[in-house]
Amino acid sequence: MKKGDILTLDVIDMGINGEGIAKSDGIPVFLPYAVDGEKVKAKIVHCKKDMAFGEVLEIVNSSPHRVKPFCIHFKKCGGCDVQHLEYPYQLEVKKQNVLKTLKKIAGISVDIQNVFHLNEWAYRNKLSLPFGKKGDRVVVGFYGKSSHDVVPLKYCPLHGEWLKSLIKIVCDYANEFKISVYDEKTKKGLLRHLVARMIDSLSVTVVINGKSLPKAEVLYERLKAQFGEVALYISENTKNTNVIMGDTVSLIFGKEQKQSLGAFSAAVSPLSFLQVNLEVMQMLYDKAAESIEGDRVLELYSGVGLLTAQIASRLPSAKITAVEIVPSATRGADNLMRDLGFSDRVKNVCADAGKFVEAQKGKLPFDCTLLDPPRKGCDRAVLEEVKNSGIKKIVYISCNPATLARDIKILSDSYTVESVNLFDMFPQTCHIETLAVLYIK
């Protein structure tokens, strides 16, 4: 097998990125947008010694799980991976991929109790879109495949109708006042990204390569006329970086509104992490709270305290120590706990999670540890210290099955997996949220 070969292949499995997997002479061939059970004609586009990658030229025999993608941008936009799969089969593929990952990396076989899900469309409350140019017109959209050329976007079914109105208002404003767009090559131009969140009200952040946004009052008035209450921010990002937001945001018009987050309402900064699917988020936090044992809870990687507050709301007797390394996040968490009346039950600590646990010298006065790390998973030092602590139970929320499995393996000589539940926070994509509960041996 070599690059350029055209082969007829039987798809025998699904990969973690939603691709089909076939084999040729015993070598796995990864085929984006192919489906398990199909026979396809494919062109080999890249070969390695132990694997190959191809593109589907023709579907010879189609899977009954294949459906016509809803969005015209599918395959061009990187936002969705599996729109070509019927939704129940998407859930099954995700479940099987988690099971295979846990088996391969952690060496364990588990029963997944539930795959919680709700709406498969119009579930996202947040977007980040780059500005670009099409001819002489300003557009927002997504980056084309393997490029930083912006493909214009007018609508996205994962967000709903509010996005269509927002894009039109912002682009009309930018074109009317001839506002320049940032050019990655020359490092000149003003407009970089449009970031927005819609829950009860709209929050809009324009990321700029500069210090001010011309005619921002006009943009604000037009947004307000369409959406009612609006908070308009700018974020200065003058660095040569792929990071979207600058280090700070400034509210220039409107006021920061409290948003309904299920168990409570709170103002959410544009810099704060918040799950993009609030309905499934509630299911996740309900299950996490139900899984916590005892009243003394240690939460690591606690951020600005949104998960802390969700757990405190659900468990009125819980005493929570929440550890976060970023000082501004800890200050934000302190303010949130004060506003919600939880300050007497929640102690926020600004510290490195591993060093905090190590300082307790194996005598942590907690019944349960709550872990909600970033995609890269937990630092090994954190896991080693938790193992030495004697804490009976670990409740681990993960957005990355591979790093979850790696961390479970590290913990496995002291803890056993009690339960695993999945939460489809991201329909039409290959991503899944996992809640694993571990108990001390």
Q: Do residues 244 and 191 make contact, with C-beta atoms less than 8 angstroms apart?
A: no
Of the candidates 77, 80, 156, 399, the residue annotated as catalytic is 399
Terminal CA-to-CA distance of the chain, rounded, Å? 49
Rounded (5°) CA angle 350-401-308:
30
Which alpha helices (H) appear in 102-148, and where do they start and end? Answer: none
Comparing CA positions, the residue from 317, 322, 319, 348 lying closest to residue 334 is 348
User: DSSP label at 291?
Assistant: H
Q: Do residues 162 and 198 make contact, with C-beta atoms less than 8 angstroms apart?
A: yes
Name the residue with tokens 């846990």.
Answer: 102
**In Å, how far from its chain's centre is CA 24?**
34
What values do phi and psi take at 78, rounded to 5?
A: -85, 5
399 catalytic per annotation: yes
CB atoms within 10 A of CB 134: 12
Strands (E) located in 35-111:
39-47, 52-61
Residue positions annotated with a catalytic role = 399
